[in-house]
Amino acid sequence: SRSQLTPIGTTIFQNVLAKDEDSGANGLVEYSIVPGSHFDLDYANSGRLNTADGYGFFAINLPHQGQVTVNRTLDYEKTQRYYVTIVATDKAKNEAERLSATTTLTVNIKDDDDQNPSFIYKGCMLLDGACINPEYSASVSSGVLHGILNISPEKIQAVDMDTINSPIRYTFVSGVPDSYKEYFRIDPDTGAVHQVKAVDTSTTKLFNIIIKAQEISEAKRSTTAKLAITVKPVDANPPEIVASSTEGFVNENSPVGTNVLDSGGNPLFVTVEDKDFEPEDPKPAYTFELTTPYFTIDKLGNLIVNENNLDRDPPNPGKFRFQIVAREKTGAAASAPISLTVNLKDVNDNPPVLPIIPPIMVPAGDTKQKITRVQATDNDEGENAEITYSIYHVSNNGNNKFVINPKTGDIETVGKLNAGEQYSLTVQATDSGGLYTQAIVEVTISPGPNTQSPVFEQSVYDIEVSEGATINSTVATVMAVDPEDDPVSYSIVSGNDLRQFAIGSKSGIITVIRKLDREDLTKYRLIIKAEDTGKLASTATVNIKVTDINDKNPEFVGDPYNFTVKEGLNKTYVGKVHATDADEGVNALVTYMIPSDLPFHVDNETGEIT
């Protein structure tokens, strides 16, 4: 063990010895100190001592001798034990063949009187564990003998910073005014300050005294502290608290420490007046007691926010009414309370809220109609609660079929709506600060009132169809439109007694279902009915003319014919034949011919035979 005050260069150990059984240079030994093993240090630090590697703190200046000396200043307060790793190495000529052995020297450091004492109390600024510039305070009342003073922040106490724990003696060193010794003394053993004589404010209002704490030791190390003793006038009048305004304003959700402002935008503050004090008297420190936890008074006397998340919005009241009392820190009489009101100013921290909107049925049609009104609420107020409505999206490509009044929230139809259609309207409510919310309005289109019949594109259709038309071939297509978009069905109500035609009930396509014969009937007059689902109907006329095809053979009238002619006559009228054809037009023209090997001629057009 060695004292921490051991001078540098002092030999602390000289019995390091290693034996080498080799001879010559191989048996010569040199000693050195090398960095120690981390494992060893970790093991050492597991105890209560502060330990360290001795490399650098100790040295072997003569390698051939195992004398360990101090190489750096030692400090018990930082390290109480060093582990010095010593290596003994032989002097073989080939360095690669040199052999060595290792040992550890443990050096325990003893504390010594190298630290001044230190005053101690909670809250003092520390440097290496000692208080820096310690200050104490106390107060006495004018004309009153108090005895032992109540010292702040704690009773006067100093300790030896070494582990020697030398006793401490307390004394007054100096003070202003010089008469301080007439009124106060300090107990040399306990540090308690006694008032030995009453003092009047006319003598002085403040004593500044220097206290010395000195170790009872050979070194007599010491330190000092300041003590301020205030002489207060007799407390005949309670303090009076005055506020710059009794009504304040602050934004909701303001952070802790935000100033409450008066109506003019200035910080609202409080001051304390006490008639016991003259204008030049030092004023005592006051504490402020508020009947609300949400606000407090700062060091400058300003009223500030004391809790986060102050919320103005319902169901919160939006304002706070409370009282403030001022009291001296010594606990003397308090002031009469004053009442304050703080109003929370709205900030735009709430989006509008849209209610759940039930599904809506809207009758079909193309007339403009109001379908519903959406109304949002906003817990903010004033401009922050002004809401604008818009339609964000409409499903089923319905963006051009609905509009919303941006102020009232009324939703109206503007386009044609057909029965059975469904739309989802995404309605958005936005406040002046851009906060918004959305809701869905489900709209189903129901059949409207059935008051109008279907209307044909034409009231009369004139159609021609060949008598050679094939079965199921199309004759014509008729179309009717229902003004209320009801589906339309078609039927033939008259003119089809022979069941020659059929019509598609949904398509309006008229087709041939039986073979036509112009020679039997050349025209048909069909009455077509278009009827909606409400049984309202209208009709159209379809005039069908059957056109001819050459499907009939000519027939001789009066066949057979018997003519006589005298022999030997040339180009003499023999007789006339006549044939008819049931077709029409060119299909009914008849051409007459006889075999060319007969001695007669027939007129191709008239049928006269010569």
Tell me the pLDDT tens digit for each residue of 163-192.
Answer: 777 899 999 999 999 999 999 999 999 999
CA-wise closest residue to 562 among 573, 577, 572? 577
Tell me the pLDDT tens digit for each residue of 255-313.
Answer: 999 999 999 999 999 999 887 777 776 677 888 999 999 999 999 999 999 998 888 87
Q: List, in order, residues 6 or more apart from 216 with CB less than 8 Å away.
A: 166, 167, 168, 169
The stretch 59-80 carries a mean pLDDT of 86
Between residues 24 and 323, the one the model is more confident about:
323
The stretch 527-545 carries a mean pLDDT of 93
Residue 39 pLDDT level (bands cut at 50, 70, 90): very low
What is the phi/psi pair of residue 36, to 5°? -85, 170
Residue 487 has pLDDT above 60, yes or no: yes
Map residue 38 onto helix, strand or coil: helix
The stretch 503-520 carries a mean pLDDT of 93
For CATH 2.60.40.60, the residue range(s) in the chain are 2-110, 118-232, 240-345, 360-446, 455-547, 553-610
pLDDT of residue 435: 93
Residue 243 pLDDT level (bands cut at 50, 70, 90): very high
Question: Looking at the domain covering 553-610, what would its CATH class be?
Answer: mainly beta
Residue 43 pLDDT level (bands cut at 50, 70, 90): low
Residue 213 has pLDDT above 60, yes or no: yes
pLDDT of residue 34: 92
CA pair distance 398, 86, nearest whole angstrom = 93
Tell me the pLDDT tens digit for each residue of 358-387.
Answer: 999 998 888 899 999 999 999 888 889 999
The stretch 65-87 carries a mean pLDDT of 87
What is the C-alpha radius of gyration for the chain, rounded to an integer number of angstroms?
Answer: 62
Q: List, in order, residues 6 or more apart from 50 with CB less than 8 Å away.
A: 78, 79, 80, 81
Answer whether 0.95 is exceeded by the pTM: no
Between residues 220 and 161, the one the model is more confident about:
220
CA-wise closest residue to 66 among 31, 19, 22? 31
CA pair distance 528, 349, nearest whole angstrom = 68
The stretch 413-439 carries a mean pLDDT of 92
CA-wise closest residue to 105 among 73, 61, 65, 69? 69
DSSP per residue, 484-551: T----EEEEEES-TT--EEE-TTT-EEEE-S---TTT--EEEEEEEEE-TTS-EEEEEEEEEEEP-S-
The stretch 419-440 carries a mean pLDDT of 93
CA pair distance 78, 91, nearest whole angstrom = 38
pLDDT of residue 23: 83
CA-wise closest residue to 216 among 158, 155, 134, 154? 158
Query: What DSSP character marks residue 40?
Result: H
Length of the chain: 610
464 burial level (CB within 10 Å; 0-12, 13-18, 19+): exposed
The stretch 593-609 carries a mean pLDDT of 88
Q: What is the CATH number of domain 2-110?
A: 2.60.40.60
According to CATH, the superfamily of the domain at 240-345 is Cadherins (2.60.40.60)
Residue 210 has pLDDT above 50, yes or no: yes
Domain 118-232 has CATH 2.60.40.60: yes
- Mean pLDDT rounded to a whole number for the chain: 88
Domain 360-446 has CATH 3.40.50.620: no
Residue 4 has pLDDT above 80, yes or no: no
Tokens (6 digits) for 356? 């759940």
Residue 121 has pLDDT above 80, yes or no: yes
Q: Which fold has domain 455-547?
A: Immunoglobulin-like (2.60.40)
